[in-house]
Structure 1
Amino acid sequence: MNKPTLRAMVGGLALALSTSAMAEAPQLETLAQVSQAAPAHRALDIQRWTTAAGARVLFVQAHELPMFDLRLTFAAGSSQDGKVPGLGLVTNAMLNEGVAGKDVQAIAQGFEGLGADFGNGAYKDMAVATLRSLSAPAKREPAVQLFSEVVGRPTFPASSLARIKNQLLASFEFRTQNPGFLASQAFAQKLYGDHPYAHPSDGDAKSLQGIDLQQLKAFHKRAYAAGNAVIALVGDLTAEQAHAIAEQVSNALPQGPALPPVGEPAVPAPGVTHIEFPSKQTHLLIGALGIQRDAPDFAALSMGADILGGGSFGTRLMSEVREKRGLTYGVYAGFTAMQAQGPFTISLQTRAEQSQGTLELVQQIVRDYLQSGPTQQELDDAKRELAGSFPLSNASNAAIAGQLGAMGFYNLPLSFLEDFMQQSQALTTAQVREAMNAHLDASKMVVVTVGPTVPQQPLPAPTDNPAEPPLGVPEH
């Protein structure tokens, strides 16, 4: 159970006791039972259908607030860039720069005047466009109309393309001085080789300069087609209204089929790559190919990675590397499940003069964990932590829309959220260990280090009171 939840519970009990200690005494006796119980979460009644133009739709009614969230997800991320890295991201960034009769400022004012919010973004697998609007017809109908024009019929003004290119090129200059970016980019290249996941979503200076308006229009026609879209709707709408919105948005998109999924990457050669960089700290990235989003052992792997290094205190890596030795501010391990095999990654920063010993320590912790797996106590703690955090996955309409978009994009069953929770709570230590070993081999991982070459110092022995405190805020 996480501390904020415990504090909230204790605070609530204290307030009740101050009102009537006698009446609330039984709550004190059952506090342990309360801490073990999974919090109630919002059950979702998900409706699914396909529009006439081929867009997949997922809809959840939620009438608590007079508003709704609309999320479009396309297989239009950087994995679809082809030979032009950055094409997907630039296309997505240009959506709200112009439509017939409106420039970027008029579009922004149009949404603002309706009290609506437009959002967009592009990633490895997908590109998204979102709308949040009041559900009253006077607000909803013009907001959906403007949204449909922006996503379905952008004009791609040349002046906007030049501005966006310049902004990205300026960010590239900054990234060359960012050891974290250098590490992540080298790691992606070593892990994925010639696979589309290898290049950054925003491309590089050379590819970006060559992108022209014709390429943007062609990419939009192909990747923003109705058959390549998932429409998620959540909020104060009737089923009839949701069907009408989905058809309106779908009809505004270019008409065409879904794009084929990206192929699977080749297994990379293990080894260590070092990038020299002047710094007091060294960035370490350790990992391997992981899993697809629809992997049948997704729940076991998620639980196993969380116990190993989910980012919070009490994980195996955090306990051994930070709490007992003070070698890092934080260490994280996890699977990024994607359309093709996403990465399993362990990331941290440590003192440059102890980087080699820290790397070897992390590698040994992973070997031990794969050999013996989690303890029963670690698994029980992780289950309680998941039970406490799980309700946040559908605590808001926007969160639900995000879940629906992912479920549609990765072809997950409508019962995925409930299945995931039930499977997670039923896991045994043996199942977690078997799943982790089925996908990971500690001796075959890719390692990237970015930092200075300096004389190395031995690591301190583990203790409950490290002589040196953990490093301060990580370098970026």
Structure 2
Amino acid sequence: MSKGSRFTLPGLALVVAVGSFGLPLLGLSNAQAGQALEEAKSSHKLQSLAELNDKAPARRSLDVQTWNTAEGARVLFVEAHELPMFDLRLTFAAGSSQDGNTPGLATLTNAMLNEGVAGKDVGAIARGFEGLGADFGNGSYKDMAIASLRSLSATDKREPALKLFAQVVGKPTFPSDSLARIKNQLLAGFEFQKQNPGKLASLDLSQRLYGDHPYGHPSEGTAKSIPPITVAQLRAFHAKAYAAGNVVITLVGDLSRSEAEALTAQVSASLPKGPALPKIALAKDPQPSSGHIEFPSKQTTILLAQMGIDRADPDYAALSLGNQILGGGGFGTRLMSEVREKRGLTYGIYSGFSPMQARGPFMINLQTRAEMSEGTQKLVEDVLAEYLKSGPTQKELDDAKREMAGSFPLSTASNSDIVGQLGAMGFYNLPLNYLEDFMQQTQALTVEQVKAAMDKHLSVDKMIVVTAGPTVPQKPLPPPTDKPAEQPLGVPEH
């Protein structure tokens, strides 16, 4: 049962470039990629790089079926009989942007789902899922909250797993002893954050970017907002935000259409009755600013950010490809080449857009030697300015297209990957052929189109910069070279 991750998901805030505010499309972690490869091997569909030889990799063709339940929930379903199991995900517009004046309310509500139902405490719920070979998962983000179930599709396992899942998501009891325990865990986490310069910088940056906008406060709440939250508030939030009209249900696996309809009808009927919540208000461009957090350390965390795009922006494909070249990948990006490979100033530097219902941030993040932090920040700004001015080279564009096309099959390699992609597509109201359209759009982009999109949405002059580290005398940066005299300090401090 995926219980341990529920506090880390909302806490990622701004430090991780993409996916921290919402579920990413086309994004895979190392663990997911490994799982996808193993599943591909088991079905004898794994292709070698030599076999590809510049040809488009094979990928699963998705026949996405969609309908609405009687209570108003939208369903996206892909029938897949390769494995005798199914993956189910409920994506609610119930993230921290719906907290109102109670920061942390959405996170607490989601964390409490599987703490108790009528006749079962948290231990009995865990044993119930485990005894059926089923896995329950939950998580809360800025835009959304999720609850998921993976189960065997055989009737004797599917039906009891679904019954328990429907109780957990639709009729949680919010036991007071569990609420006290989880509050204490969150409060302990707030104390730990004080020792994490990256987290402190990200909290300050988020406030500077969004101010009083619903994205401005930390998803997990604050040491002041969490203690007063009551069970009555959790129940009221659940009744409103976990309503059937406020959810997208995605389902992938070994089920027929009729079985899928019956399954989703059962889940939908178990939820509170109610409509979709209003969309989040637009976020305004903040004034450029800078801030420094004094922190005893050998390294300085540097975060540079500005307002990016929402999920419906027509430039999304061009910006995704453009950012891949700037700093969205690993080695070989503009930022990694100039800051790490040529000068040895950082262990890693990354950039990314986080598009959401409202405009999410574009951010560059890194850690560097404290005595070279000012020069490194200036170098990063210069690299960005030059990139916006000149755009990518044709070779950079071709390499990025090839890399994106090569990794694309992993986005639909397993049922769990597909159900996640469908959840984001349904939540952001993207077309059913979105994945194919996105890849076709990126492969057709020109240097001029990518340059125009990046220049349209980004500007060095609009940056908000937050640093966290010690105030020390500064040293000049080393000149660029193929073999820097000093290597990066090592793994970033946390």
Tell me if TM exceeds 0.5.
yes
Match of 2:25 in 1: none
**Aligned match for 1:227, one of 245, 251, 256:** 245
Cα shift readout 1:33-54 (whole Å, capped 9, x = no counterpart) = 9442221111100001110000
Tell me how far 1:226 sits from its aligned partner.
0.2
Match of 1:52 in 2: 70
Match of 1:168 in 2: 186
Match of 1:428 in 2: 446
1:334 correspondence with 2:363: no
User: What amino acid sits opposite 2:176 in the alignment?
Assistant: A
Match of 2:108 in 1: 90
Q: Is the 8 Å Cα contact of residues 58 and 408 (structure 1) preserved in structure 2?
A: yes
Cα shift readout 1:400-459 (whole Å, capped 9, x = no counterpart) = 000000000000000100000000000101000111111111111110011111100000
Cα shift readout 1:248-271 (whole Å, capped 9, x = no counterpart) = 000000000000111111211102
**Aligned match for 1:256, one of 263, 274, 294:** 274
3-state SS of paired residue (2:226): helix
Matches within 5 A, 1:32-431: 34-431=52-449
Q: Is the 8 Å Cα contact of residues 311 and 331 (structure 1) preserved in structure 2?
A: no
Tell me how far 1:471 sits from its aligned partner.
2.3
Larger Rg: 1
User: What amino acid sits opposite 2:250 in the alignment?
Assistant: A
Aligned structure 1 segments of 4 or more residues deviating by more than 6 angstroms: none
Structure 2 residues without counterparts, runs of 5 or longer: 1-29, 31-48
Tell me how far 1:272 sits from its aligned partner.
1.4
Tell me how far 1:388 sits from its aligned partner.
1.0
Tell me how far 1:296 sits from its aligned partner.
1.1
Return the alpha-carbon distance in structure 2 between the equivalents of residues 86 and 240 of structure 1: 39
Match of 2:8 in 1: none
Structure 1 residues without counterparts, runs of 5 or longer: 5-29
3-state SS of paired residue (1:141): helix
3-state SS of paired residue (2:124): helix
Return the alpha-carbon distance in structure 2 between the equivalents of residues 100 and 181 of structure 1: 38
Cα shift readout 1:309-340 (whole Å, capped 9, x = no counterpart) = 01300000000000000000000001011110
Match of 1:13 in 2: none
Return the alpha-carbon distance in structure 2 between the equivalents of residues 34 and 119 of structure 1: 36
Return the alpha-carbon distance in structure 2 between the equivalents of residues 149 and 294 of structure 1: 34
User: What amino acid sits opposite 1:290 in the alignment?
Assistant: G
Tell me how far 1:287 sits from its aligned partner.
1.2
Q: Is the 8 Å Cα contact of residues 74 and 126 (structure 1) preserved in structure 2?
A: yes
Identity of aligned residues (%): 70
User: What amino acid sits opposite 1:194 in the alignment?
Assistant: D
Greater per-residue helix proportion? 1
Return the alpha-carbon distance in structure 1 between the equivalents of residues 280 and 421 of structure 2: 22
User: What amino acid sits opposite 1:230 in the alignment?
Assistant: V
User: What amino acid sits opposite 1:297 in the alignment?
Assistant: D
Q: What TM-score, normalized by structure 1, do the two folds share?
A: 0.93
Q: How many equivalent residue pairs?
A: 447
Tell me how far 1:297 sits from its aligned partner.
1.2
